[in-house]
Amino acid sequence: MVDQETWENTVLQKLELPNGVIASNRIMRAATWMGQAEEDGIIGNTIIETYSKIRAGVVVTGFQYVMYEGQSIRRMVSNSKPSDVEGLKRLAGIIHSSGSLAAAQLVHCGSTSLPKYSGNDVYGPSDMEFPDPKGDTVQVKAMTVNHVEEVTQAYADAAKRAVEAGFDVIELHGAHNYGLWQFFDPTYNKRPVNDPYTGSTIEGRCKAMVDAVRAVKSAVDVPIQVKVDSSSKTVRPEEVGELTKKLAEAGAYCVIFSGPNPTQSPKDAGEAYFLDDAMVIRSIAHDSGLLFGLVGGIRSPETVVKLLTGDGNSAAAFDVIQLSRPLISEPALVHRWTEEAKVGKQEPARCISCNRCFGAGFKGKVQCVQFEGE
């Protein structure tokens, strides 16, 4: 149990981002696909109503696709054309109405994109066969260097639209086996040694993600954070440490550590199940000037405080904590924890990590099914 003074001095401590941007606390709502955009990616009343309930220092939207071809699932939010700005303004506005900063997560899903959105051709780092959600095989075509550069520019253009719409922060999705991560992961990147994005060197593997940060940095003057996987079957955390340093040099202010299986059960894997790999990365990039964030299976206020304080070791402390599924079940969870701290009776998040909330998304709306109506 966390006492009120500790809670206020850790979780409710304001977070200063670059350019004088201030978040009211250290909790970020992690970017989460909500399955609530209209079929063409337009932001309608359903998604606005959902985001109106979320309370956090920073609310990161579910991933916004920067090119039509780069969608991996139905009802993603579009940030791919000028006409999207109107809806994005509504989304940023409703997030601000709760006192939260608004962050736009941008993505091109690369090899995991669906053929229906790319004219039957799916593009990624390399030629390969990739299983689609229905169990069929999709033939992925290697992007040309020009195509990669077009995607990089699409990130910059989407960032401009987001800032025009009122978003305070840009988050680039460099995790969960989507496009930017694919260039870093040798599982996907088989590009030859003479290619600038080659999978044979750490520089080539980092280039797409680093270039995207640089392009966004040149296009907009807002804080940029990047979500990365802390490891994978073919990527060691030490390599992610080198990537993280390069992201700092490119202009990112914060890196959020996730992993290839972000929807595990803390009952099985324990809370903060990416912590060990994240600590290896931190030890390598500790002098980069970055802020560090962690997501993954965090369910109790005690764990949040331990992560923010390093449990007595300031060198192990994280600057921000991201929560996803707990804030699907309880959008105002941070407020509940804050009120409970005043009387010394904090209870863990009610989320049981059943993942049925995402199943509901395929029917039109990600929502907590376990506690529906409560």
Q: Are β-strands 22-23 and 15-16 bridged in parallel, bridged antiparallel, or unpaired?
A: antiparallel
Instruction: Report yes or no on 173 lying in a domain.
Output: yes
Average pLDDT, rounded, for the chain: 94
Instruction: Give the tens place of pLDDT for each residue, 276-286.
Output: 999 999 999 99
Is 374 among the domain residues?
no
Average pLDDT over residues 26-43: 93
Q: Check whether 224 has a pLDDT greater than 90.
A: yes
Q: Is residue 48 part of a domain?
A: yes
The number of distinct structural domains making up the chain is 1
238 part of a folded domain: yes
Determine what percent of the chain falls in helix, strand and coil, rounding each to the nearest 5.
40, 15, 45
| Residue 62 included in any domain | yes
Burial of 297 (0-12, 13-18, 19+ CB in 10 A): buried
Residue 271 falls within a domain, yes or no? yes
> How many other C-beta atoms are found inside a 10 Å radius of the C-beta of residue 253?
20
Q: pLDDT tens-digit profile of 198-209?
A: 999 999 999 999
What residue numbers bound the domain in which 200 lies? 4-361
Q: What is the pLDDT of residue 287?
A: 94
pLDDT (average), residues 181-187? 97
pLDDT of residue 133: 65
CB neighbours of residue 368 within 10 Å = 22
Task: Determine the 3-state secondary structure of 188 from DSSP.
Answer: coil
pLDDT tens digits for 245-271?
A: 999 999 999 999 999 888 778 878 889
Please list the residues that pair with 256 across neighbouring strands.
Answer: 227, 293
Enter the pTM of the model: 0.96
Q: For the purposes of burial, counting CB atoms within 10 Å of the CB of 30, is it exposed (0-12), middle (13-18) or buried (19 or more)?
A: buried
Give residue-wise pLDDT tens across range 52-111.
Answer: 999 999 999 999 999 999 999 989 999 999 999 999 999 999 999 999 999 999 999 999
| pLDDT value, residue 81 | 98
Q: Is residue 112 within 8 Å of 70, Cβ to Cβ?
A: no
Question: What are the residue ranges of helices labelled H in 167-234?
Answer: 179-184, 202-219
Amino acid found at 169: V
Domain harbouring 233, CATH code: 3.20.20.70
Torsion of the alpha carbons at 194, 284, 238 and 207, rounded to the nearest 10: -30
Whether 369 is covered by a domain: the verdict is: no
Does 368 fall in a domain? no
